Structure 1
């Protein structure tokens, strides 16, 4: 028997109605600031809106020098000071349109985590997700198996951190160049890759699961590493290759009078830093109500006023430490980023 869930259906339709009545407004201002382009975003608030905007700016290879974020209530207003990779202002082009599309009714919805090994065919390629214990030669073994199974690797991205590995690999059939949709062949690919991932030392025992939908690659890698608990720092002192000088400083304190938890992040600036921290907070089920970001020099400073999705600030010291460790891990993962 099928069951209709009125709460989910009504909430979805209400959100779409609000967005139709009050569509997102995005302006690109090249006159107000001499050194940066100002991108202003006003929209009805929905869960994940901030991440979607930051994701678009990141995908456009824009560098966020400053950001002022406010989403307290039913509306959010964000201002981003951005430049291109060379420190120049950017042309308007399709920036506003891209952001509006991401926030509109057809934009990406908030997606839940999936685990370990997943394969999802698309029109052009099949996506393989891998996560497990890192060791020398692991990726070579994965690619060797795919080659033996007549799979062509179109592209791949690999992250390693704290003895864990996550990878998203895009493959096609070697003979016809299309995605692979034969269930038996997919099952064989997953079985062999799972065997390689487990090896003789992975005590966490990798799982196999077919992913649902198509999530942004870098967000998916963050999700996979988070699900694999790479933020557990039991091996951090032995495996971390980052010097104390460049180690991120993350603090979290409750602002009792206003009912927020205030999270501060200070670390060397780099591209995609804001995306990594916002992605982590969002996937940990926290909502950013206010934030200030300054990254105009070698150091970046981020301040977030957050609550859990249930409306409460962080309630325990253990939860506070978990947030700190997860943000530190998110910042450090890209130091081992590999593109193929």
Structure 2
């Protein structure tokens, strides 16, 4: 009863502050030559910066510069943003959404308890963490298919020998969320067994619920809880590739100053602010600047208790956690983009083909839109070698696509004729002629 009373009092206090100090948003498309300038002023509280950045990045906007100040009880931010093509944001629908999401009518100033969390009867959310290994996504997908679950959306990250996934599944027959407690318990048990593999002492965790969280934030939280930031001898990033993160104390002002220099990419600001917020640090001032392919970020922070970084161990932990947050989205290897008519078991079939061709998935984004499956996979050779062109050709033959693009030399991009493929009917029309698959060899920072 006391906890409920306290919760209600907190909400009423926030509503009062909101009425007295409504957020103010100004969108300016005139003052800057090559970006849209968005200014947000509001009453300050912990986590508000993350919520604003989250709204902008969820719109797929690129934040090229930002100036942040939140000393005292007021929060003032200025963001320079562009669309994915580097142009100013002129879409009236997007501009109107920004005003409603960040302005006086918004709910972004509600308590962090409810951010990104809502009940859903459309699907069941499954969160998975465990040790990474070749073929893991294929094994998990096969189990879900066996349990008559259809994967409608999924995000899979791997980093530093650890793996995390957030999957949204539906019942194969009804197309709705799975609610039967016994069935949910079986799903959880079997998936956990897959995550553990042959090493039954391996740390693995499976959570099944009807709640929907902000996927990217949950993946950061899950990998952080799984301590993926702890370095191992098998760490694939050398010092030249690793982000440059430095943490020093400004004793005169009781701030710790965090500076980050690294390759720029979409959602970089979200990843760093998300990590600082979930580690209970408050950003008082910050400057973010992008010059060419590189990004520079500078944060003036204190812990929630008002203190700067207190020890060398804490400084090292902040450094490692920010490095890990940046690295989680950096995917080495071959990028595969698949767009086809969605059907039950599609993810299981595709990832099985990868596994049979000795490819392992390092990151994946799976989505269904209007009956279409729109999937992106990042794969590497399971033995650690570069992906061979012959392997690509083998996959193209098995999938039997009519539209297939491979970025690289002209010789590599020649399409494989379906008529000459001896295995074009192997999966009984697994992919229809309208499907599209795009393979590109990249180091992705998206």
1:289 aligned to 2:284? Answer: yes
2:118 counterpart of 1:123: no
- Go from structure 1 to structure 2 and tell me whether the alpha carbon gap of 1:239 and 1:168 turns closer, same or farther (over 3 Å shift): same
Cα distance in 1 for partners of 2:300, 2:63 equals: 19
1:121 Cα offset (Å): 7.0
Residue aligning to 1:339: 365
- Name the SS of the counterpart of 2:33 in structure 1: coil
Q: Do the aligned partners of 1:132 and 1:202 also contact (CA within 8 Å) in 2?
A: no
The 1-side partners of 2:77 and 2:162 are apart by: 35
Instruction: Tell me, yes or no, if the aligned pair for 2:119 and 2:210 is still in contact at 8 Å.
Output: no
Report what 1:116 is aligned to: none
Q: Give the superposed CA RMSD.
A: 2.1
Instruction: Tell me how far apart the structure 1 counterparts of residues 260 and 114 of structure 2 sit (CA, whole Å).
Output: 25
Q: Deviations over 1:243-288 (max 9, x none)?
A: 5333200000111111111000000111110000000000111110
Q: In 1, distance between residues paired with 2:105 and 2:329? A: 25
As a proportion of its length, which structure holds more helix? Answer: 1
Q: Residue 67 of structure 2 contacts residue 77 of structure 2 at CA under 8 Å; is this kept in 1?
A: yes
2:85 is aligned to 86
CA distance in structure 2 between the aligned counterparts of 1:81 and 1:102, rounded to whole angstroms: 23
Does the aligned pair in 2 maintain the 1:121–1:179 contact within 8 Å? Answer: no
Matched, 1:135 2:133: yes
Deviation at 1:46, TM superposition (A): 1.6
SS in 2 for 1:177: coil
Decide which of 78, 96, 100 is 1:97's aligned counterpart. 100
Q: 1:199 aligns with which of 178, 197, 200?
A: 197
Q: How has the CA–CA distance of structure 1 residues 9 and 314 changed in structure 2, closer, same or farther, with 3 Å as cutoff? A: farther
Aligned equivalent of 1:270, options 241, 248, 265: 265
SS in 2 for 1:239: coil
Does the 8 Å contact 1:49/1:103 carry over to 2? no
Are the structure 2 counterparts of residues 102 and 264 from structure 1 closer, same or farther at C-alpha, using a change threshold of 3 Å? farther
Are residue 225 (structure 1) and residue 223 (structure 2) matched? yes
Q: Which has the larger radius of gyration?
A: 2
**Structure 2: 5+ residue stretches without partners:** 332-362, 367-446
> Segments of 4+ in structure 1 off by > 6 A?
none
Equivalence for 1:117: none
Contact 2:123 2:168 in 1 (8 A): yes
Gaps of at least 5 residues in structure 1 are 113-119
Whole-Å separation in 1 of the counterparts to 2:105 and 2:305 = 25
- In 2, the alpha carbon distance for the partners of 1:102 and 1:248 equals 38
Q: What is the CA-CA distance between 1:201 and the residue it aligns to? A: 3.2
Cα distance change on mapping 1:213 and 1:44 into 2, 3 Å: farther
Query: Distance between the aligned counterparts of 1:101 and 1:163, measured in 2?
Result: 44
Tell me the residue number matched to 1:53.
Answer: 52
Name the SS of the counterpart of 1:184 in structure 2: helix
Q: Matches of residues 32-43 of structure 1 in structure 2 within 5 Å?
A: 32-43=31-42
* TM-score where L is the length of structure 1: 0.91
Q: Distance in 2 between matches of 1:80 and 1:202?
A: 48
Q: 2: distance between equivalents of 1:254 and 1:212? A: 43
Q: Does 1:238 align with 2:237?
A: no
Which residue is equivalent to 1:185? 183
| Cα shift readout 1:88-129 (whole Å, capped 9, x = no counterpart) | 1002332221223896377462469xxxxxxx9722111111
CA distance in 2, matches of 1:13, 1:93: 28
Deviations 1:158-203 (A, max 9, x none): 0000000000111000001011011111011001111111123374
Aligned to 1:66: 65
Match of 2:304 in 1: 309
Task: Give the superposition deviation at 1:214.
Answer: 2.7
Q: Secondary structure at the match of 1:129?
A: strand
Which residue does the alignment assign to 2:418? none
The alignment covers a number of residue pairs equal to: 329
Q: Hey, what's the Cα distance between the residues in 2 that align with 1:132 and 1:314? A: 30
**Whole-angstrom distance in 1 between the partners of 2:32 and 2:184:** 53
Q: Which moved more, 1:198-207 or 1:299-308?
A: 198-207
Q: Tell which has more relative contact order, 1 or 2 (C-alpha 8 A, sep 6+).
A: 1
Alpha carbons 2:256, 2:301 under 8 Å: kept:
yes
